[in-house]
Structure 1
Amino acid sequence: MALRATIYKAELNVADSDRHYYQSHALTLARHPSETEERMMVRLMAFALNAQEDLVFTKGLSDADEPDLWRKDLTGAIDLWIEVGQPDERRILKACGRATEVIIYCYGGHTSKIWWDSVQNKLARTRNLRVICLPSEQTRELATWAARAMTVNVNVQDSELFVSSEKGQITLDQQVWR
């Protein structure tokens, strides 16, 4: 018998002064049985950093042809492709060919640096790729906040995320690797 996804409900309040975006989102996140709570919370932060009305979570780990999040235009063309973790270079190249912009949010500290060192030369010709690393200590702490029903407030200023909930406050400093 196959394991089923665990459903999480999140009330996400975004105040992004860098993009002048201020909005609340009622989100439903499905956590795949193989996905950690840390990865799910990084997906939520990726949503907050790129929040728009037409940004949506996809099937993610359940479908190899879809990213974790994407934004499509009215014709169905992919404007934004967002991956979380450490995808292989073939997947990244495929995404760069299909989407106008590709963003990878990696986490995990030293293992992310090893991954990036191994793939960055193979991705040198891509022009629409950004790679952002989130600090592992803070993403691990975010994982402890995961609850089936949660309210998360994200303030973005000068590329720094100030995340708060009833469980506390965390500051995430994005490291732009590309």
Structure 2
Amino acid sequence: MALKAQVIKAQLQIADMDRHHYQDYALRLAQHPSETDERLMIRLLAFALNASEQLEFARDLSGEGGAELWAPNLHGGIDLWIIFGQVDEKWLRKASQQAGHVKVYTYGGRSVPIWWQQNQQALQRYENLEVWEISDDSVKALGALADRNLQLQISINEGQVWIADAKTSVALEPRLLKGFKA
């Protein structure tokens, strides 16, 4: 018997002073039984960092290398494609060909520098690619916030992110490994 995904309800109040984006979002996410709380919260963090009216969670997370968060445009194309983890270069090539802007949010502690060293040179050719690293301490702190019903206040200013619920506050600063060349 297959295990069912757990539905997570998240109320986000986002104040992004870097992008001048101030909005409340009511989200429903599916957390697959194999997905950790940390990974779920990384998805919410990426949503907050890129929040817009067009941004949405992909319906199917089973396709390896597919966009997990994306912003489709009115012409049938993809403006923004977001992937998580330590992604294979061939999937990033595919994403870079299909989308105007691609972002990878990588995490995993000590394995990230190894992954980055192995892939950095190949990824430099993708001008529409950004790669961000979330520190292991930040990932653990975010995982501690996870709940089935989330009410989070998120403030973003000068690259620093503060995420708070009624009891706890987490401060983190994603580190840019590779920037987007417009």
* Band the TM-score falls in, shorter-chain normalisation: over 0.9
Instruction: Give the gaps of 5 or more residues in structure 1.
Output: none
On the 8 A contact 1:7/1:31 being kept in 2, the answer is yes
Instruction: Give the gaps of 5 or more residues in structure 2.
Output: none
On the 8 A contact 1:78/1:100 being kept in 2, the answer is yes
Please show how residues 26-175 of structure 1 align to structure 2 within 5 Å: 26-64=26-64, 66-175=66-175
Name the amino acid aligned to 2:122: K
Please report how far the alpha carbon of residue 29 of structure 1 lies from its aligned counterpart in structure 2 after TM superposition.
0.9
Secondary structure of the 2:145 match is: coil
Q: 1:22 aligned to 2:22?
A: yes
Measured on the aligned residues, the alpha-carbon RMSD in Å equals: 1.2
Secondary structure of the 1:79 match is: strand
Secondary structure of the 1:38 match is: helix
Question: 1:2-23 CA distances to partner (integer Å, 9 max, x unpaired)?
Answer: 2211110000110000000000
Secondary structure of the 1:139 match is: helix
Q: Using the alignment, how far apart are the partners of 1:76 and 1:48 within structure 2?
A: 24
Name the amino acid aligned to 1:158: E
Q: 1:5 aligned to 2:8?
A: no
On the 8 A contact 1:42/1:139 being kept in 2, the answer is yes
Q: Using the alignment, how far apart are the partners of 2:90 and 2:160 within structure 1?
A: 30
Please report how far the alpha carbon of residue 31 of structure 1 lies from its aligned counterpart in structure 2 after TM superposition.
0.9
Question: 1:35-72 CA distances to partner (integer Å, 9 max, x unpaired)?
Answer: 11101100000000000011000035323363110001
Q: Which moved more, 1:134-143 or 1:43-52?
A: 134-143
Q: Using the alignment, how far apart are the partners of 1:2 and 1:117 within structure 2?
A: 38
Q: Which moved more, 1:124-133 or 1:107-116?
A: 107-116
Please report how far the alpha carbon of residue 105 of structure 1 lies from its aligned counterpart in structure 2 after TM superposition.
0.6
Secondary structure of the 1:177 match is: strand
On the 8 A contact 1:145/1:167 being kept in 2, the answer is no
Residues 65, 104 of structure 1: alpha-carbon distance in 2 compared, 3 angstrom cutoff: closer
Q: Using the alignment, how far apart are the partners of 1:57 and 1:51 within structure 2?
A: 11
Aligned length: 178
On the 8 A contact 1:60/1:69 being kept in 2, the answer is no
